[in-house]
């Protein structure tokens, strides 16, 4: 049986406990043995090297050097990593090893909660199969991203809230390799209710299963 570890905590505004419960239900239905942890110390456990998938939901906060190094090494050796929004890519801002692994880091969400559109890019990819452009109401993440990411979906900024980024096309979802490990990220999901949007939920669930070894 595939094993998954969900480590959640950090800033409460992203509802990490509710998101962890959604992921736990999905992964259990998909045949995973799911473990939950609420402290970053879980990343330092040698046992994570035996996991199929690790899901961080830990906005901001800090991670100890040995925790980050063990997590990164586990993914390099083949453990999958998947997550969403600030829970994965606005976590541990001071740790560049972690950011190198995830493929991106949040830097702004101009206008805060706004209406925008998400556009699939790799429509032939199994993660994106059948998903068409869809409207979304949330934070529109502006990110610094790794050019080696395989971008699956994008959003386009209109400049209403920061004129100098008018027309910028920004990745929303991507997959990548880190060593032997597969990494999936989607920037949607500011709060748990956004998982009710079927396109987002489908992308996220498929992406997690893709990442898992």
Q: Kindly report the backbone phi and psi dihedral angles of residue 111, in degrees, each rounded to the nearest multiple of 5, phi listed first.
A: 85, -10
Tokens 């997959």 belong to 175
Cα–Cα distance, 152 to 154 (Å, whole number):
7
Domain ranges of the chain: 2-211
pLDDT of residue 2: 97
CB 86 within 8 A of CB 36: no
Mention every residue, 6+ apart, whose C-beta is less than 8 A from residue 28.
34
The overall pTM is greater than 0.85: yes
Whole-angstrom distance, CA of residue 189 vs CA of residue 69: 27
How do the pLDDT tens digits run along the chain, 213 residues long?
A: 999 999 999 999 999 999 999 999 999 999 999 999 999 999 999 999 999 999 999 999 999 999 999 999 999 999 999 999 999 999 999 999 999 999 999 999 999 999 999 999 988 999 999 999 999 999 999 999 999 999 999 999 999 999 999 999 999 999 999 999 999 999 999 999 999 999 999 999 999 999 998
- 194 contacts: CB under 8 Å, gap ≥ 6: 136, 138, 188, 200
* 130: region left, alpha or beta (phi > 0 left; psi from -120 to 50 alpha): left
Q: Which fold has domain 2-211?
A: Rossmann fold (3.40.50)
């Amino acid at each position: 049986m595939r094993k998954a570890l969900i480590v959640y905590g950090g800033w409460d505004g992203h509802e990490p406990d509710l998101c962890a419960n959604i992921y736990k239900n999905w992964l259990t239905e998909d045949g995973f043995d799911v473990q939950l942890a609420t402290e970053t110390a879980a990343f330092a456990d040698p046992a994570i090297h035996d996991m199929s998938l690790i899901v961080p939901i830990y906005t901001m906060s800090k991670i100890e050097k040995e925790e980050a190094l063990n997590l990164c090494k586990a993914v390099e050796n083949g453990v999958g990593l998947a997550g969403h929004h600030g829970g994965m890519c606005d976590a541990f801002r001071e740790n560049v090893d972690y950011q190198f692994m995830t493929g991106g880091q949040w830097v702004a969400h101009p206008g805060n909660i706004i209406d925008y559109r998400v556009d699939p890019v790799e429509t032939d990819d199994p993660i994106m199969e059948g998903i068409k452009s869809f409207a979304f109401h949330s934070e529109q993440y502006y990110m610094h991203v790794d050019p080696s990411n395989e971008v699956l979906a994008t959003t386009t900024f209109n400049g209403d809230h920061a004129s100098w980024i008018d027309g910028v096309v920004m990745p929303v979802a991507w997959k990548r390799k880190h060593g032997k490990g597969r990494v999936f990220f989607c920037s949607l999901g500011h709060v748990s209710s956004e998982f009710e949007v079927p396109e987002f939920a489908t992308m996220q669930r498929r992406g997690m299963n893709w990442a898992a070894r």
